[in-house]
Structure 1
Amino acid sequence: MTIDDPASATPFRYLDVDDPARSYEDLLRAAPRTQRSPVWFGPDTTQWFGEVPVPSDLAVAVGEHDPAEVLSRWWPGPCPDGCACLDPYTGAFPPLIRASGTDRSRRRATLAEAVSFGREAGDLASLAVVDAERPADVPAALGWCGVINYPHQDLVGLSAVLRSWEERFGATLVWIGGFTLVLVVADPPRTREESERVAAEHFAFCPDQIDPQDGREPYSPRSYAREIRRARLWKFWWD
């Protein structure tokens, strides 16, 4: 395995390997020990790094954030009287589903699901390794500016939410682009209630999830929940 530009001060390195999917798997399994997490970069992604300050001790800073508080603060509600755009959660942000349960972040199935994405990434992505102890911390470690046009530019809070999704749903950040994050989900919501609660989290996390941008009417958590129920891929795009 060859790491490009080993003297660089950047928090990431591209990897020159014969079998990127296998290297991704090895790196992902070793990440808690090496404190370096693999991720796939989209084309021209690196120009969007380094624009947001990174805490000196990122892991501690992320751990100090309560994901429920972060999402509640970012929640676009409550709806005005008569509005149903956040139906069925037109008032306060709902409690997190699976908030106190099994940590799914390092399960065998979670790692396997993330690795499966790499086998299909092909020419659409380049493999890199980032100075971050877990994939959830990657956006903050890179100073990623994909959310720079939005009021909430708190990458530490964003990574805290990603950590929570790793633990509750086995959702691993696998791909990062200029304005896009892709997560592979090993244990997605399976019931209507779970899916609607997760839909509310997605709306707080990324306001553009409301608009499918394919000619359909904007989603509510209730209609969006049908899209993510049992879905193994979560994609977030900030316009």
Structure 2
Amino acid sequence: MTTSDLPASDLVERVAGAGPNTYRELLGKARTTHRAPVWLGRGGDAGVGVLPVPDDPAVDVDAHDPYRVLADWWPGPCPEGCTCLEPFSGQLPGLVRAGRVDRSTSRCTVEEAAAMADEVVSYGVGVLAVVRAARPADVPAVTGWVGAGNYRHQDNVRISAVLRSWEDRFGALLVVMTESTLLLSVAYPPTTFKEAEQVAAEHFAFCPDQHDPQDMAGTVYTPRSYGRTIRKARHWRFWWD
């Protein structure tokens, strides 16, 4: 039986009453057990089982180059005189830390994710689930998540390909998934302004609504101004309207 033959109830197992320690243990073993933990929204469904799931999500995710994915989604180039993507105007800049150390399973990465899990439990905003995936990045592709539904060009397989890249480069793990939001813990965030601006460009390509958070202040970000908010930040939040 392939993954796509399984109903959502078999792909996502809810773990009643679980806490951060259970999450930490599951996360540390995920690459071996192929059972990745994730905190779903308060209701526990998080929009899973809505979109089609590939026969072998892991293989399909692996087939995509994360830079090519983000470059295809990049909103640039800007027309002459436009500054909405400053300091960039043309193509997406290169990926920060590409080809360096894989930080996806480091102790610091696991502990940072567990710290976010502790916050989730403290605020009572999630239900722990275990997904048939070897790593948290693959959860959207495996579960048929509907969160980016208003942006049909952004399919879950390619979303997971980018999440894998962030896991590797920044120790950025998907910890919470709701119907419209992904929350990532970040163990090794960008530390310089230049790095932060480049990562901000990746965020803008990944989530079209990231530049316009629709907050009460009417904020509209550029990669430069948004980059200041994620420099050394331990949490990344992506929300699709």
The TM-score, its normalising length taken from structure 2, stands at 0.93
Structure 1: any 5+ residue segments left out of the alignment? 1-6
1:117 and 1:217, CA in 2 relative to 1: closer, same or farther beyond 3 A?
closer
Give the match's secondary structure for 2:176: strand
Contact 1:44 / 1:178 at 8 angstroms: preserved in 2? no
Structure 2: any 5+ residue segments left out of the alignment? 1-6
Contact 2:193 / 2:231 at 8 angstroms: preserved in 1? yes
Letter in 1 for 2:14: Y
Give the match's secondary structure for 1:194: helix
Contact 1:45 / 1:176 at 8 angstroms: preserved in 2? no
Query: Match for residue 237 of structure 2?
Result: 235
Query: Match for residue 157 of structure 2?
Result: 156
Contact 1:36 / 1:130 at 8 angstroms: preserved in 2? yes
User: Is 1:129 the equivalent of 2:109?
Assistant: no
Query: Match for residue 56 of structure 2?
Result: 57
Give the match's secondary structure for 1:146: coil
Contact 1:188 / 1:232 at 8 angstroms: preserved in 2? yes
Question: Which runs of structure 2 are paired with 1:90-101 in the superposition (5 Å)?
Answer: 90-101=89-100
> Which whole-Å CA distance do the structure 1 matches of 2:168 and 2:160 have between them?
12
1:64 and 1:23, CA in 2 relative to 1: closer, same or farther beyond 3 A?
same
Give the match's secondary structure for 1:16: coil
Structure 1 position 48, deviation (Å): 1.5
The TM-score, its normalising length taken from structure 1, stands at 0.94
Query: Match for residue 166 of structure 2?
Result: 165
Contact 1:38 / 1:130 at 8 angstroms: preserved in 2? yes
Query: Match for residue 21 of structure 1?
Result: 20
Contact 1:146 / 1:180 at 8 angstroms: preserved in 2? yes
1:101 and 1:232, CA in 2 relative to 1: closer, same or farther beyond 3 A?
same
Contact 2:173 / 2:184 at 8 angstroms: preserved in 1? yes
Give the match's secondary structure for 1:87: coil
Query: Match for residue 202 of structure 1?
Result: 203
Query: Match for residue 105 of structure 2?
Result: 106
Structure 1 position 47, deviation (Å): 6.0
Contact 2:138 / 2:160 at 8 angstroms: preserved in 1? yes
Aligned alpha-carbon RMSD (Å): 1.4
Query: Match for residue 3 of structure 1?
Result: none
Structure 1 position 217, deviation (Å): 3.4
> Which whole-Å CA distance do the structure 1 matches of 2:152 and 2:224 have between them?
25
> Which whole-Å CA distance do the structure 2 matches of 1:233 and 1:94 have between them?
22
1:83 and 1:147, CA in 2 relative to 1: closer, same or farther beyond 3 A?
same
1:51 and 1:112, CA in 2 relative to 1: closer, same or farther beyond 3 A?
same
Give the match's secondary structure for 1:161: helix
1:37 and 1:221, CA in 2 relative to 1: closer, same or farther beyond 3 A?
same
Give the match's secondary structure for 1:198: helix
User: Is 1:115 the equivalent of 2:82?
Assistant: no
> Which whole-Å CA distance do the structure 2 matches of 1:70 and 1:190 have between them?
24
Query: Match for residue 144 of structure 2?
Result: 143
Structure 1 position 10, deviation (Å): 2.9
> Which whole-Å CA distance do the structure 1 matches of 2:16 and 2:158 have between them?
32
> Which whole-Å CA distance do the structure 1 matches of 2:55 and 2:178 have between them?
24
Task: Count matched residues.
Answer: 232
Query: Match for residue 187 of structure 1?
Result: 188
> Which whole-Å CA distance do the structure 2 matches of 1:189 and 1:90 have between them?
21
Contact 1:173 / 1:184 at 8 angstroms: preserved in 2? yes
Query: Match for residue 4 of structure 1?
Result: none
